[in-house]
Chains A and B, each alone.
Chain A
Amino acid sequence: MATATTLRAAFKPSPYLIGSAVLFVLAFVYAIYLEVTLGHVAFNTTNYGVFWGFPIVAYDYFLLTSTGLALVASLPLAVGIRSWDPVAKRCVWLAIAALVGGVAILFLELPHPLRALWATPINLQTASPLFWKILCVGAYTIVLALLAYAFGAGRGPAEVPRILAVVLGLLALAITLIAGSVYGMLVFRPFWFGSELPVVFLIESFMGGIAFFIFFTYAVHGFVADNLSENTRRLLAGPLGIAAATAVFLHLLFVLTRTVTGLWSYGEGMEVWRYTIAQPLYWLALIGGGLVPLVVFALPSLRAQPWLQMIGAFLVALGLLASRYEFMINGQLVPPFKGSWAPPLLEYAPSQLEWVLLFVGIFLANTIYAALESWSSTRER
């Protein structure tokens, strides 16, 4: 009891935590206001073809960033690489934060989120990738909570049971691969269809995980490189920077080969590639979110510059969101079977509510992360 009181007294919410929490509450209240006053018409989805809008893009973005972070955390925890200890803990905090942010967006988008919680596990539709995804996300949430509990109880990464790390890694892997299959299995949607998609999702999730880790490591140290420990600085400029460069390179390879193959293909539905490359977003994501960070992380002299690392990581995170948007939205722009009632390519832009939901996710994730960091440092003190 005395310990709890002492801890409560020592837990001082940082300005980062207070700021994020305030912004989250504002965004959340506004989102609820729009949903209640306008109803579902506040979303820009239609029955013509764009069934999954920006909130689903944002949800998958957060979820797969979380699994990427969990993969980054689970490797050193499971194998026992002690020099990576600072990475593991922060990645777990960030993975929890991203998961909560993503699920919050999904729950605000879904008309029956609570029904999903009981109807999915008891009906056992094993043929559906979504069934497995929901099941794995449930288990993943529990394992992350157990890890947080272990860290919170004062155990360092070295004392965390290895089995937890192994299970976390396997679940993160499963969620990411299944998320790829949700799209890759759809044979009549050629823009999405392909057995390589789960692997693409895995690489991109890993890339997002590393980028988030690098960015937030600087953020919690006030964006001052000198505040980082020597070990962390070495990791960022060494193995983590190289891993980031490799992931960005593979991501670019997939984007470019998919683009070229798509443009060469004359199949029905592949015409959307011509539209895709005509969009500034495509080039911004490719150059700003891919090529520039690749140069930053690939060249040792640039990789060692903290500011460039921060900017590179931030660009990767932004570019990934843009890539996900293009992938998911453009894959629905060719209307399925609507004849001349629908235009050859549908138009879609996120509505005000859909943008607000993204910010609900961002601010909630930041609030959770800031709280976990404060809590963890309080415990350590």
Chain B
Amino acid sequence: MTKWGMVIDLEKCTGCQACTTACAMENSRLPGESWQDVLFYHEGTYPNVKLSWLPRPCMQCENPSCVAVCPTKATYKTEDGVVLVDWDKCIGCKYCMIACPYGVRFYMDEKPVVQPDLREVFPGDGDRIWNPPYKMPDHLEDRKKGIGIQPKGVVSKCTFCYHKISKAPKGVADLDEDDPQTREYVPACVRVCPPKARYFGDLDNPNSRVNQLIADKRGVRLKEETGNKPQVYYLAGGGAPVIPGERSRGRG
């Protein structure tokens, strides 16, 4: 059975945010509420400052706490290993947001993060929260999978671009933008990454590129102590902590 996963090579990532922009365009995200974001961290004080960054989609956990806590099973895991939200079942209780250790879930009805409030500039029709000028064709939207423009009063998250990857040929090991056979099925954030720091493939296939990278370059998962077992792996050059803690940065 396919188990989709992502590998992000931090030694190649330039922090350019192309992934963030592509995800926002592909999935109609409001500015500041990005399913994919690049988190920046700075340590020390001038002139001894270290800047680091971390691209962060949903970890599509193998053992997702968001699924476990959702009282209505609105959040669920597909057979091919992707965590999705059924917007018709979500009651907006936000327990999944409380229970996600990676802070990757969004309730789009909050105060705007940037001005002007684009929900007022492009008001939504029906229960869509807005109607952006950039949006996927209506026929690709799927409320049962949390794909498309978010309705009011529900929670959303990265879908691993399920509207793309679920149409990939069965049994394929990797979805690679350089391969004309699979290009159309590659998640938006992976496809646009200029230094090719992101890889997408089947973690259950021993021959997949993602598995080779994880093995060869000692891929790590974030916050292993939570038991969530992310399906997003980071290549950090081996041994280095992927992100500094708040307290070790002297912020806490």
A positions within 8 Å CB-CB of B: 39-41, 43-47, 49, 51-52, 110-113, 115-116, 119-120, 123-125, 127-131, 134, 182, 186-189, 266, 268-269, 271, 332, 334-341, 344
The 6 closest A-B pairs by CB, nearest first: A111-B153, A339-B39, A40-B109, A271-B252, A111-B92, A336-B103
Cβ B98 vs Cβ A186 within 8 A: yes
Cβ B227 vs Cβ A51 within 8 A: no
Cβ A128 vs Cβ B252 within 8 A: no
Our count of residue pairs bridging A and B at CB distance below 8 angstroms stands at 140
Taking CB atoms, residues of chain B closer than 8 Å to A44 are 111
A239 to chain B, nearest CB (A): 39
Taking CB atoms, residues of chain A closer than 8 Å to B113 are 47
B28 to chain A, nearest CB (A): 16
B94 to chain A, nearest CB (A): 4
Question: In the complex, which of the residues B42, B98, B152 contacts A340, with contact meaning CB atoms closer than 8 Å?
Answer: B42
Q: Is B69's beta carbon under 8 Å from chain A?
A: yes
Q: Is B97's beta carbon under 8 Å from chain A?
A: yes
Cβ A120 vs Cβ B72 within 8 A: yes
Taking CB atoms, residues of chain A closer than 8 Å to B107 are 45, 47, 51
Give the CA-CA distance A134 to B41 in the complex, in Å.
Answer: 40
B80 to chain A, nearest CB (A): 21
Given A41-B111, A112-B153, A52 and B73 contact (CB-CB distance below 8 Å): no
Given A186-B99, A271-B246, A332-B98, A130 and B93 contact (CB-CB distance below 8 Å): yes
Q: Is B50's beta carbon under 8 Å from chain A?
A: no
Taking CB atoms, residues of chain A closer than 8 Å to B69 are 127-130
Cβ A112 vs Cβ B90 within 8 A: yes
Cβ A119 vs Cβ B89 within 8 A: yes
Q: Is B84's beta carbon under 8 Å from chain A?
A: no
Residue of A at shortest CB range from B223?
A: A188
Taking CB atoms, residues of chain B closer than 8 Å to A110 are 91-93
Q: Is B216's beta carbon under 8 Å from chain A?
A: no
Given A268-B252, A340-B40, A125 and B72 contact (CB-CB distance below 8 Å): yes
Given A271-B247, A335-B103, A336-B102, A39 and B70 contact (CB-CB distance below 8 Å): no
Given A187-B225, A187-B226, A112 and B98 contact (CB-CB distance below 8 Å): no
Residue of A at shortest CB range from B94?
A: A51
Given A51-B98, A266-B247, A115 and B109 contact (CB-CB distance below 8 Å): no
Given A268-B245, A271-B247, A341-B39, A336 and B91 contact (CB-CB distance below 8 Å): no
Residue of A at shortest CB range from B97?
A: A51
Given A110-B92, A128-B68, A123 and B73 contact (CB-CB distance below 8 Å): yes
Residue of B at shortest CB range from A183?
A: B98
Taking CB atoms, residues of chain A closer than 8 Å to B54 are 339
Taking CB atoms, residues of chain B closer than 8 Å to A129 are 69
Residue of B at shortest CB range from A112?
A: B91
Cβ B109 vs Cβ A134 within 8 A: no
